[in-house]
Amino acid sequence: MLQIQDLHAWYGRSHVLQGIELEVRAGEVVCLIGRNGAGKTTTLRAIMGLVPRRSGRVLFAGEDVLGQPTYRRLALGLGYVPEERRIVPGLTVLENLRLGLIAVPERRRREDAIIAEIARTFPRLRERLAQSADTLSGGEQQMLAIARAMVSAPKLIMLDEPSEGIMPVLADEMFELFARMKDEGVTILLVEQNVERALKIADRAYIIDHGTIVHHAEARALLADTEIQERYCSV
């Protein structure tokens, strides 16, 4: 589904990503973990075309999209939920959801059915469709960001720190949602600060440190390897 080959990225003169290599197969949940500042968010942004200077190859469903604009990657089925959520203030929950259909005109013709399906998946949002999105709690806004990405039926969805800063009860709901998405065959590339919870739902994991992949393993094996976790993931 997704192959990253020798991916480099820069912010100005700062060489942040230095030859990232990873892959996500169809139907997998793959974690990208590491300390703050290791390059996790930059990796997702580079895959999505949001870093101004990058090189290498980003193969999505067999097509190299590195030189393509972000909207084209979205139209091909690459979804992205950024760490900062990007909920549009002043718009209702329903209007924010509709924004997720802009890049996929063929799905806009089924808008009512798609929104109804998403509302069943996210019962908290179903109760708040007419509510202004910026009045939601942080966890509810995170759910809205994920739901907005899902209305376009992405082939692969990238989630950046989805549980950060939200109440434990909503984090529990979110990880239950990810488990259901996995069972339904949704392909996920997950960046998550809660390493233990992420590894429990993942198939495989990559550890990034100083812009380089330093370890790759089955999630189950990495969950049991506290030495590697301590070396690369502890604060």
The span from the CA of 126 to the CA of 136, in Å, is 13
Both structure tokens of 220: 């189950």
Torsion of CA 134, 135, 139, 141, to 10 degrees: -30
Query: Mean pLDDT in each 10-residue stretch from start to end of the chain (235 residues)?
Result: 95 92 95 92 94 92 90 89 86 90 75 85 87 90 90 91 84 86 90 89 94 94 88 73
Both structure tokens of 207: 């550890």
Q: 44 with 58: CB under 8 angstroms?
A: no
Residue type for position 194 = N
Centre a 10 Å sphere on the Cβ of residue 218 and count the other Cβ atoms it contains: 13
CATH of domain 2-232: 3.40.50.300
Each domain of the chain, given as residue ranges in start order, spans: 2-232
143 DSSP 8-state letter: H
Give the position of tokens 């393509």.
68
Instruction: Point out which residues pair with 204 in neighbouring strands.
Output: 30, 218
Strands 63-64 and 29-33: unpaired
Q: 122 with 173: CB under 8 angstroms?
A: no
Residue among 24, 78, 6 at smallest CA distance from 48? 78
Helix (H) or strand (E) holding 19: strand 14-24
Encode 167-235 in three state secondary structure. Answer: CHHHHHHHHHHHHHHHHCCCEEEEECCCHHHHHHHCCEEEEEECCEEEEEEEHHHHHHCHHHHHHHCCC
Render 29-58 in DSSP notation, one character per residue: EEEEE-STTSSHHHHHHHHHT-SSEEEEEE
Residue among 23, 58, 145 at smallest CA distance from 93? 145
pTM for the model = 0.90
Nearby residues of 227 by Cβ (< 8 Å), 6 or more positions away: none
- pLDDT score of 84: 80
- pLDDT score of 187: 95
